[in-house]
């Protein structure tokens, strides 16, 4: 499997992660058939560098907007400000959407690295990102 997105989407997630540093950034990726067409930035209500919780109102607003545009939630992204881009134990425990990609933006050593994963039944499988 692979997640397809535009370089502009990748840049938007990285910029969001940098803007929120040293806290985690988070958001949704919307589109069709594993192809991203829109990034929804969310507020991290936990305001920390080791966890995130998305604001409920923003989640509902994003879901309503996706429905109005006939888009699906194809991914959930968040940043790891100071660690490698691999799902943490908590990330795996809270992964409730096996149909979605889980994208992690790492800013370790100031060098952005982005990886995507599928998480189902606590099993983590990395997937390719096609950023064309």
CB contact at 8 A, 86 and 38: no
Backbone angles phi, psi at 75, to 5 degrees: -160, 160
Check residue 80 and give its pLDDT. 95
Within the chain, residue ranges assigned H as helices are 7-20, 56-68, 89-93
Sketch out the chain's domains with CATH numbers. Answer: 2-131 (3.40.140.10)
The pLDDT tens digits for 1-51 are: 799 999 999 999 999 999 999 999 999 999 999 999 999 999 999 877 788
Which helix (H) or strand (E) segment holds residue 39: the answer is: strand 35-42
Check residue 110 and give its pLDDT. 81
């Amino acid at each position: 499997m692979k997640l397809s997105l535009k370089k502009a989407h990748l840049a938007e997630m990285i910029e969001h992660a940098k803007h929120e540093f040293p806290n985690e950034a988070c958001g949704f990726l919307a589109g069709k058939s594993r192809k991203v067409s829109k990034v929804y930035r969310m507020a991290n209500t936990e305001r920390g560098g080791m966890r995130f919780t998305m604001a409920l109102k923003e989640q509902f607003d994003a879901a309503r907007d996706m429905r109005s545009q006939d888009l699906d939630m194809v991914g959930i992204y968040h940043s790891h400000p100071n660690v490698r881009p691999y799902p943490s134990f908590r990330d795996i425990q809270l992964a409730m959407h096996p149909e979605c990609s889980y994208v992690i933006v790492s800013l370790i050593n100031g060098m952005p690295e982005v990886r995507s994963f599928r998480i189902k039944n606590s099993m983590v499988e990395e997937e390719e990102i096609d950023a064309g």
